[in-house]
Amino acid sequence: MAMLIPTEDETMLRDAARGFLDDAAPVANLRANRDQGRAFDPDLWAEMVKMGWAGVLVGEDEGGSDMGFAAANILAEEMGRTLVASPFLSSAVIAASALRAAGRPAGAIASGDVTYALAVDEGPKFAPAATAMQASADGNGFRLSGTKTFVGEGTSATRILVLAKAEAGLTLFDLEADRVGLTRDKLDLVDSRDHAALTFDNVQATGEDVVGEVGQGLAALAPALRAGHAALAAELTGLSAGAFGITAAYLKERRQFGRRIGSFQALQHRAAHLWCEIEVSASTILNAGRVLDATPDEADLAVSLAKARATETANLAVREGVQMHGGIGMTDEYDMGFYMKRARVAAEWLGDYGYHAAVVARARGMAA
């Protein structure tokens, strides 16, 4: 149990992040993004870059802060509390992990000069191994043809990590987002974030664009997915805490029958149960970060457990939040609806509960 106690440095990072985000990125910032039709607040992202957040997983020799996975999870969790939209997950966590593991430079991520999107999904469910998009041989290079959907930061990213099927097997490519033949179409999902469908029409790629080895795309992608699963789980846990916070505040203010509804025992029991679930999920996030920092190649169980647990907790948190707010919980005037919408989208991205529960079951010898 001692390992699940945050260190002094982790506590300081969390406090600093929360203080900054509460002031600079309340939920009103997400509303502004939606109303202005922007993917994220560029000024907010610039501040995050200055604080070293974009380089949290980039080596110091490249200008990164190299704080590690546990620190990345702390930042993601605090962003989840106020529903911060930014390239953090796709660029600072997923792309930086993939590039670093493959020995490719990632300093441009730390400096904020580039942002990345991950193009993996092709159908309604997360299934990297079933990738069908073709990378046909073309001289010494390739021609990429096919479609990807549910691409986070898909319209705003300046570079794309894309998984395609070459003759030698699945291969991961790193391409400029404006490469000839690549079309990006915005998807209007309920969480008011930047998602896109990408179409590749004979997009040219060279050997220099390959991340890792040709035919070893899943191996090259594995470090990125492990980091992404953990950070997204952290965001969902922060989202749960944020939803619980505004719900608890509402219970203390709303009056019925001459009493604050927070004094009703049935609601107290439900709130207490939710708080306990959030605390347990937070422990799985801390554990996932510690395992990733210590033995990243052995972190599949820890990160899938965290994603599955955080998904279920977030679902409970937003359902309870909406119900305890009553009918106003789903109105646009109140923030709770934004938490519910983001929880639904994040639950599906990078694998839903069923996907990660299956990973946990196999790791524990409970499934074939």
Check residues 143 and 333 and name the one with the higher pLDDT. Answer: 143
Q: What is residue 262's predicted lDDT score, i.e. its pLDDT?
A: 66
Residue 47 tokens read as 């501040």
| pLDDT confidence of residue 3 | 46
Select the more confidently predicted residue: 257 or 28.
Answer: 28
pLDDT at position 2 over 70:
no
- The string of pLDDT tens digits covering residues 72-116 is 999 999 999 999 999 999 999 999 999 999 999 999 999 999 999
User: Which tops the pLDDT comparison, 248 or 114?
Assistant: 114
Q: Is pLDDT at 163 greater than 70 in this prediction?
A: yes
What's the pLDDT band for 248 if we cut at 50, 70, 90? confident
Residue 147 pLDDT greater than 60, yes or no: yes
Please say if the pLDDT value at position 210 is more than 90: yes
pLDDT at 53 over 90: yes
Identify the DSSP state of 26: -
The tens digit of pLDDT for each residue in 287-324 reads: 999 999 999 999 999 999 999 999 999 999 999 999 88
pLDDT of residue 1: 37
**Strands (DSSP E) along the chain, which ranges?**
116-119, 134-138, 141-152, 159-166, 169-176, 182-187, 195-205, 210-211, 255-256, 259-260
What is the chain's mean pLDDT, rounded?
A: 94
Q: Which CATH entry fits the domain spanning 118-216: 3.40.50.720, 2.60.40.10, 3.40.50.2300, 2.40.110.10?
A: 2.40.110.10
The percentage of the chain sitting over the pLDDT mark of 70, rounded to a whole number, equals 98
Q: Please determine, for residue 284, whether its predicted confidence score (pLDDT) is greater than 50.
A: yes
Residue type, 320: E
User: Residue ranges per domain, the chain?
Assistant: 2-115, 118-216, 218-363
pLDDT, residue 367, reads 63
Indicate the SS3 state at residue 137: strand
What is the reported pTM? Answer: 0.94
Residue 244 pLDDT > 70:
yes
Please tell me the CATH superfamily of domain 2-115, with its number. Answer: Acyl-CoA dehydrogenase/oxidase, N-terminal domain (1.10.540.10)
- Nearest-angstrom CA–CA distance, 226 and 222: 6
Tell me what pLDDT residue 44 has: 97
Lowest mean pLDDT among 30-44, 148-162, 243-257, 290-304: 243-257
Tokens at 164, concatenated: 């395609």
Q: What is the pLDDT of residue 48?
A: 98
Residues forming beta bridges with residue 118, ordered by sequence position: 161
Q: What CATH number was assigned to the domain covering residues 218-363?
A: 1.20.140.10
